[in-house]
Structure 1
Amino acid sequence: MGTTRKGMLNVLIAAILWGSSGVCAQYIMENSQMQSPFLTMIRLLSGGFILLTFSFLHGDGIFRILKNRKDILSLLLFSLVGAMTVQLTFLMAIEKSNAATATVLQFLSPTIIVAWFALVRKARPGAFVCAAIGTSLIGTFLLVTHGDPTSLSISGAALFWGIASAFAAAFYTTYPSALIARYGTLPIVGWSMLLGGAMLLPFYAGDGAQVVITRQFAAGIPSTWW
């Protein structure tokens, strides 16, 4: 399989897994009274630990970045504005609406990226890209308004967090390219998730005591799927 096809396959799998994670997050929050910030913290800490463990076993040298002060600062910025913010805003959008709406709104991020490159780097998008952007914007408009521009079919909070998630995803996608080129994908993503989760610990670590595991949640029967 060529590099291009492998990249397209990875994008497809990533989109499916990300969308599925939204459905799982909605189910957890609805059936355990778990709030989105606490769930974000758990996702980041556990995901970061798993990725760094895989990276360490793979021999990627996960501690190399800690020897470069400039890169550490870039990693901290990426952890805060990228990994933590994209996860938190996404789950907040789910909490205020549902997984499908949050995912559609967040996937406006390619449009934001294209617009950024067009304005800053003078990279003019092709006709196919422009058509894809136009289609995504029309679809989002119909989702948010149901065709009536005078009213919203979702709450203002859901729209805010969904758009914020799209901007965070755009930053998350574009910012760490230099870091990934130096240290690899797994170490950078793993550290950003672990550090992002650690940034939430002082504020939401105590929320675990408020989590209520319902009988339906324990049985693993997602009522929202039926």
Structure 2
Amino acid sequence: MKTSRYLGLLMIISGATLWGLSGPMIQWLFSHSDLTSINFLIVRLISAGSIILGYLFFAKKKIFMVWKDPRDWIQIVIFAVIGMLGAQYAFIETINVSNAVTATLFQFFGPVLITIYVAIQNKKLPSTVQILAVCTALIGLFFLITNGSIENIVLSNRAIFLGVLTMLGFTFYTLHPASLIKKWGTLMIVGWGMFIGGIVLLIFNQNFSVQLLPNTLTNYIFFIMILAIAIGTISFLLYIGSLKYLSPTETSILSSIEPFVAGIVSMTWLNESFGVYQMVGGAFIITAVIFLTMPKKREKLNEKIKMVS
């Protein structure tokens, strides 16, 4: 048990670190080449989706069974276009117009929106801890956008708009495929979601050509692009794999190192600078998400305290 737990810890820490590294790499790509978000996404989604589906195929999983029931494949297509493609495009465009750390923190705000959505859907007020976590996250978001001064907003309107879309996209990405994942498994749904999302984007961007990429990019930039795609795919597989050995609560808490890694890499490699209040805002958002992963345990503890008193 100890060995498997250590393996799970190694997987989630490695996955979160790699995901935190992938953001600055994408930011570097955009600042050192004419690569567009759409072209990068086409390569990223199709290649990552193909890798995941290929892995499942060689593992003798029936990857085409999901297309037999119209109710399933319609939901998969919706997830692929709105969830996978929408969330990924908003995230990468946020990196493009602001920076990797900001995009990662906007993405991290997703669990807060999920908490609010679930409370509305169940027509039940959130717990005290959840309400405090939501308020903490909102304060963090305010500091992130304004750096403590509403008169001197540090993010452009486009960056804020795309950041909000990132939050909404990752919220939809998390909530929508729940029943599909329960039936078919996470890798199956995410693999098809990536592949279909990339194909849809390719259809609407007919000027794209794989052969042109090596010609328009230098060998080094092309290598960094492939490396960023590989790192992003591996980080996801490590995250999913860690769930076999750790609880979702533990993986959620440990994945909070993503923004820290993105921040350190951005400041040391990309020479990014962040205001004090922006860093405080990021810490607030991360703290809120950590608390949101443990509401049930805290509620049970409160109930026990009330019974004793």
Normalising by the smaller structure, the TM-score range is: 0.7 to 0.9
Corresponding letter in the other structure for 2:183: R
Instruction: Answer whether contact 1:27 1:224 (CA < 8 A) is retained.
Output: no
Instruction: Answer whether contact 1:31 1:216 (CA < 8 A) is retained.
Output: no
Q: What is the DSSP-based 3-state SS (H/G/I as helix, E as strand, rest coil) of the residue aligned with 2:216?
A: coil
The more displaced of 33-42 and 132-141 is 132-141
1:156-167 matches, within 5 Å, as: 156-167=157-168
Alpha-carbon spacing, 1:13–1:137, altered in 2? closer, same or farther (3 Å): farther
1:1-226 matches, within 5 Å, as: 15-208=16-209, 209=212, 212-214=216-218, 217=221, 224-226=269-271
Once the two structures are superposed, what CA deviation does each residue of 1:1-20 show, in whole Å capped at 9, x if it has no partner? 69xx89x9577665444332
- In the TM superposition, residue 135 of structure 1 has moved relative to its aligned partner by 2.1
Once the two structures are superposed, what CA deviation does each residue of 1:177-203 show, in whole Å capped at 9, x if it has no partner? 110111111111000000000001123
Q: Distance in 1 between matches of 2:48 and 2:223?
A: 24
5+ residue gaps, structure 2: 225-265, 272-309
State the TM-score, normalized to the length of structure 2: 0.65
Q: Distance in 1 between matches of 2:204 and 2:166?
A: 21
Q: Distance in 2 between matches of 1:155 and 1:225?
A: 20
Q: What is the DSSP-based 3-state SS (H/G/I as helix, E as strand, rest coil) of the residue aligned with 2:217?
A: coil
* Matching residue of 2:289: none
Alpha-carbon spacing, 1:46–1:123, altered in 2? closer, same or farther (3 Å): farther
Q: Distance in 1 between matches of 2:175 and 2:23?
A: 22
Alpha-carbon spacing, 1:159–1:12, altered in 2? closer, same or farther (3 Å): farther
5+ residue gaps, structure 1: none
Instruction: Answer whether contact 1:64 1:183 (CA < 8 A) is retained.
Output: no
- In the TM superposition, residue 224 of structure 1 has moved relative to its aligned partner by 4.2
The more displaced of 203-212 and 109-118 is 203-212
Alpha-carbon spacing, 1:219–1:113, altered in 2? closer, same or farther (3 Å): closer
Once the two structures are superposed, what CA deviation does each residue of 1:4-53 show, in whole Å capped at 9, x if it has no partner? x89x9577665444332212211222222101111111110011001101
State the TM-score, normalized to the length of structure 1: 0.87
- In the TM superposition, residue 57 of structure 1 has moved relative to its aligned partner by 2.0
- In the TM superposition, residue 106 of structure 1 has moved relative to its aligned partner by 1.8
Q: Distance in 1 between matches of 2:122 and 2:12?
A: 24
CA RMSD of the aligned region, Å? 2.7
Alpha-carbon spacing, 1:158–1:11, altered in 2? closer, same or farther (3 Å): farther
Instruction: Answer whether contact 1:31 1:214 (CA < 8 A) is retained.
Output: no
Once the two structures are superposed, what CA deviation does each residue of 1:154-184 show, in whole Å capped at 9, x if it has no partner? 1110110011011000000011011011111
Q: Distance in 2 between matches of 1:175 and 1:40?
A: 21
Alpha-carbon spacing, 1:119–1:24, altered in 2? closer, same or farther (3 Å): same
Corresponding letter in the other structure for 1:80: V
Q: Distance in 2 between matches of 1:43 and 1:219?
A: 13
